[in-house]
Structure 1
Amino acid sequence: MDEWHLARRPAGACRVVVTPNVDHVVRLHQEDRAELWEAYRSADLTLADGMPIVAAANLLRRPLPERVPGSDLAPALFAAATADRPLRVFLLGAAPGVADTAAARIAKRFRHASVVGTCCPPLGFQDDPGECEKIERAVAAAQPDVLIVGLGFPKQELWVHRHRERLECAAALCVGATIDFLAGNRARAPRLVGALGLEWAFRMASEPRRLAGRYLNDLASFPGLLLAELRGDLAVAPPRAVWTMPVRPDERPNAPAAAATQPVLEAQVETEAEMPSELGLTDSFPPTNEAEPTTPQR
């Protein structure tokens, strides 16, 4: 992330960060949307948002250090800013007024991170070229280092995927409800609950009508996907990639560097990757300096 910050806007497109969780994995397989698969495949940094993802990685012998939710990543970036290296942030998404509230709270809490723009796009904006162009112009005028995109899955991933070449920022983070968390509109689970992998239960208890059906579907579907991968008979038609399973180059002495694991806010960075696996969890990723375009929801 530091390299992206220093480079400002990489040649061709901004960098893209996605934070898939179990629901994303399940829906990717159930909905079978090629563009959404490609959005994940072309992301520059893929972080595991949820302990079930980390546990599945361990079962598949491609261990991940820990989960890194977008709601932890964003404030960690803000806290890492310094007087010598301040951080300019643009907030895209959430309900009207929420991003402005989040901006005020960020200003009070983080001395060297400043929100230089906010936008709450109207419903259906993603299908309106004029509205999309307005957002692109607003981001270009603000010149942020980081674009925080809180439009929800899969709208945010798809929108960023389609527009990344015209987004004038160093990195776009597709991080779901993070803007609501930053504004204080939604409560995060206690740290112990998150560490135990039970944040999903906390969220479902907080919003049962919205989340109960989703989580029941995930609970019924994800074990089957994992079992199919373990057996090696999971068939995936579209390009496969949901999250990365980093492999240190020194663990594959006779192969090209696959995905050098480097600590970036205790996450993983893909460099040049050819990481075989089914379940849509890993695949061949382009070098980070040749990333393909990417995308969000409210």
Structure 2
Amino acid sequence: MHKRLKMFGIDFDALTMPEAVAKVLLWSEEPDYRCRYLVTPNVDHVVKFQTDQALRAAYRDAAMVTVDGKPVLWASRLLGKSLPGLVAGSDFCPALFDAAKTKPGLRVFLLGAAEGVAVRAAETISRRWPWVTVVGCYSPPMGFNAQSAENRQVLDMINQAKPDVLLIGLGAPKQEIWVHAMQDQLQVKAALCIGATIDFLAGEKMRAPKFLRTLGLEWLHRMLSEPKRLAGRYWHDAKVFPRLVLREFINKTPT
């Protein structure tokens, strides 16, 4: 049984990427469609978590919580928690699809991204991982949430397809809050809250070069790619996150 390590009020699963992938594949092989979902907190999520009660509730009920972002990983080491490594959503999906080659037939549904993007992502998956079956995709309109008029239609679409894995790319905290609200109505075996991963798979957005990811600067690449949308958010996070780390360090307790 793996450990859970608490930081910033969040219980992180101390899992490596292969361990997390193996766990989701095990879920996908179970006969019952009991939705368990994965969340991958980065700096922005950690900051939002402090004040967003709906996000806190979603994290509390998540079946798996893995670290996304070098700053959060480095903070874990500074605080003596030492999470084993990143399990970011954008890396998790390719790793899951690669691992599924040994157990062909993984059924996937894509929910999120702009109109037509999920379809292009599905084409990429079918071409690159032919042993993975994309059983449906849907790009909901702006503002989509659990209270939207089309929510029932979306649920029916997903449940009729009966995917093993649902990829949710609605952005945080919307995706986490939505899957938490819909968990008991979703007939899927695993749901992954994976942010912009559908855009990356479709080639709609480009990930940061590897050297920037290694340096923990993927956020900088994303901010420069979408300054109007992200600059204010990242500036706010840059002010708040160090204070959270300092507070955690002062109040830290042994793991």
TM-score above 0.5, yes or no: yes
Task: Select the residue among 135, 155, 166 that pairs with 1:147.
Answer: 166
Cα distance change, pair 130–215 in 1 and its aligned pair in 2 (3 A): closer
SS in 2 for 1:82: helix
Q: Which runs of 4+ in 1 moved over 3 A?
A: 127-130
Please give the alpha-carbon distance, in whole angstroms, between the structure 1 residues aligned to 2:140 and 2:232. 27
Q: Could you say what secondary structure the match of 1:89 adopts?
A: strand
Tell me by how many angstroms 1:79 deviates: 1.4
- Structure 2 counterpart of 1:2, from 2, 25, 50: 25
- Aligned partners of 1:194 and 1:117: how far apart in 2? 31
2:71 to 52, 63, 68: 52
On the 8 A contact 2:120/2:202 being kept in 1, the answer is: yes
Indicate whether 1:106 and 2:129 are aligned.
no
SS at match of 1:149: strand
- For the 8 Å contact 1:79–1:113, the answer to whether it is kept is no
Counterpart of 1:14 (choices 35, 46, 53) is: 35
Pick 1 or 2: higher relative contact order, CA cutoff 8 A, min separation 6.
Answer: 1
User: What residue number does 2:230 align with?
Assistant: 211
Provide TM-score, normalisation by structure 1. 0.74
1:114-263 aligned within 5 A:
114-128=133-147, 130-232=149-251
- The aligned counterpart of 1:67 is 86
- After superposition, the CA RMSD in angstroms is 1.8
Partners of 1:18 and 1:74 in 2: how far apart?
13
The structure with the greater share of residues assigned to helix is 2
Unaligned runs of 5+ in 2: 1-23
- Deviation at residue 130 of structure 1 after TM alignment: 4.3
> When the two structures are aligned, how many residues end up with a matched partner?
232
TM-score by length of 2: 0.86
Q: Please give the per-residue CA displacement for 1:103-160, whole angstroms capped at 9, x wherever unaligned.
A: 1111111121121101112233325364221111111111111000000011100000
Q: Which residue of 1 aligns with 2:14?
A: none
Q: For residues 94 and 209 of structure 1, what CA distance do their matches in structure 2 show?
A: 18
Contact 1:8 1:145 in 2 (8 A): no
Task: Answer whether contact 2:104 2:132 (CA < 8 A) is retained.
Answer: no
Kindly provide the CA deviation profile for residues 56-81 of structure 1, in whole angstroms up to 9, marking residues without a partner as x. Answer: 11111111121121011011111111
Any conservation in 2 of the 1:117–1:142 contact (CA below 8 Å)? yes
**CA deviation vs aligned residue, 1:222-281 (integer Å, no higher than 9, x gap):** 010111111119xxxxxxxxxxxxxxxxxxxxxxxxxxxxxxxxxxxxxxxxxx78xxxx
Unaligned ranges ≥5, structure 1? 234-275, 283-298
Among 65, 77, 89, the alignment partner of 2:96 is: 77
Tell me how far apart the structure 2 counterparts of residues 127 and 14 of structure 1 sit (CA, whole Å): 16
